[in-house]
């Protein structure tokens, strides 16, 4: 099988600290230009210190890189797999510089966010455009894989994880699945919906698809809802709600006693999952007397990894001019390879003039 015209696949992620000394410098990187007080950074830093100052995200990206390499090798596809971060080492421009020194010029990028929004897609397009500008090599080309929230492999992997969690619950009786994703400001949600299905609607599509499968497996007694975690910034600014802990309290008041918390908004168990769900949300569930289990993320489940490699080969074939399908599940179609003009801005209609890749008509 062939990955031509690409010289390398780059996994581009958010980044995270590797030790206690990294925590505050990392958080300053993430919040640069946002006027976040230092004492707030110190408070958030405590989340990391509780895990030894080390975010799990870097190790999980290394595991994902290894899993993708193994799947490519099993299909006899020769394509180097690289990894870089927006906010911490290894920085994207440094990884690209090394790859270019070894002769790579055309890169396909896998952004470690399945959903389209400013923070999950456009901000990475800005970051990659800046990295290419900083690199200063004129013949470097970068394409980005389309959002993959409705890719069969991603949905299959999340379904498997939820089925396992339901099977591990204590007690008997109905089960409610709380699907969880990272909250975003209402303004960002509206901007994400300006040129297609919005961030919330993408998640609701995944929720509906998995619900149908759960009903097939367990019967119609399983119910569900969508909740959010990890909101930040000015508390006066409206963000998507409900918060997952508030949702657990609502469900308890309505008589729900068995819940699965399913982090479908994340591809791996990084800090928002490890702290916001495994610590805070599970503490809330315990205080309420709920029987609760947290489903795993897609991680390196074979279905997810195979789906990602399918996406890579699909995009490579399309770049070679071949007519190939873009398989999806659920009620929404495949998102385009090139982002539509004006899509996924921080605020709808706000033109910042910041260069982007993978949709330069913008």
pLDDT at 284: 98
Whether pLDDT at 362 is above 80: no
Q: What is the pLDDT of residue 361?
A: 73
Which residues are paired to 293 by β-bridges? 260
Whether 188 shows a pLDDT value over 80: the answer reads yes
pLDDT, one tens digit per residue, over 229-262 is 999 877 889 999 999 999 999 999 999 999 999 9
pTM value?
0.96
pLDDT band at 38 (very low <50, low <70, confident <90, very high): confident
Split at pLDDT 50, 70, 90, the class of 351 is: very high
pLDDT tier at 225, thresholds 50, 70, 90:
very high
Distance CA 139, CA 117 (A): 29
- Give the model's pLDDT for residue 31: 86
CA–CA separation, 217 vs 163, rounded Å? 8
pLDDT of residue 177: 98
pLDDT-derived band at 19, boundaries 50, 70, 90: very high
Query: Phi then psi for 333, rounded to 5 degrees?
Result: -80, 180
Q: Encoding tokens for residue 182?
A: 């990272």
CB atoms near residue 335 (< 10 Å) = 24
Mean pLDDT, rounded, for 316-342: 97
């Amino acid at each position: 099988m062939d990955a031509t015209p690409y010289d390398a696949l780059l996994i581009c992620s958010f980044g995270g600290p590797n030790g206690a000394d990294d925590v505050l410098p990392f958080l300053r990187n993430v919040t640069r230009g946002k006027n976040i007080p230092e004492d707030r950074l110190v408070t958030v830093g405590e989340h990391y210190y509780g895990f030894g100052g080390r975010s799990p995200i870097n190790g999980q990206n290394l595991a994902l890189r290894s899993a993708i390499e193994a799947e490519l090798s099993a299909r006899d596809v020769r394509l180097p797999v690289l990894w870089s971060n927006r906010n911490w080492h290894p920085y994207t421009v440094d990884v690209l510089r090394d790859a270019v020194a070894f002769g790579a010029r055309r890169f396909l990028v896998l952004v470690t966010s399945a959903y389209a929004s400013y923070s999950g897609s456009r901000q990475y397009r800005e970051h990659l455009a800046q990295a290419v500008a900083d690199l200063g090599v004129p013949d470097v080309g970068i394409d980005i894989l389309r959002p993959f929230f409705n890719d069969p492999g991603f949905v299959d992997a999340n379904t498997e994880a939820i089925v396992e969690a339901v099977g591990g619950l204590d007690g008997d009786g109905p089960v409610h699945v709380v699907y969880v994703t990272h909250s975003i400001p209402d303004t960002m949600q509206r901007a994400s919906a300006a040129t297609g299905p919005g961030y919330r609607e993408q998640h609701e599509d995944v929720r509906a698809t998995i619900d149908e499968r759960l009903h097939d497996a367990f019967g119609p007694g399983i119910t569900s809802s969508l909740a959010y975690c990890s909101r930040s910034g000015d508390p006066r600014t409206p963000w998507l709600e409900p918060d997952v802990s508030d949702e657990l309290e609502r469900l308890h008041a309505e008589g729900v006693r068995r819940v699965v918390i399913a982090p479908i908004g994340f591809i791996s168990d990084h800090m928002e999952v490890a702290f916001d769900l495994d610590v805070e949300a599970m503490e809330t569930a315990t205080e309420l007397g709920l029987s609760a289990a947290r489903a795993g993320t897609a991680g390196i489940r074979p279905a997810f990894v195979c789906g990602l490699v399918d996406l890579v080969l699909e995009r490579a074939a399309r770049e070679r001019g071949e007519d190939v399908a873009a398989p999806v599940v659920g009620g929404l179609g495949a998102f385009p390879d090139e982002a539509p003009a004006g899509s996924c801005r921080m605020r709808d209609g706000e033109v910042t003039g910041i260069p982007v890749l993978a949709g330069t008509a913008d």
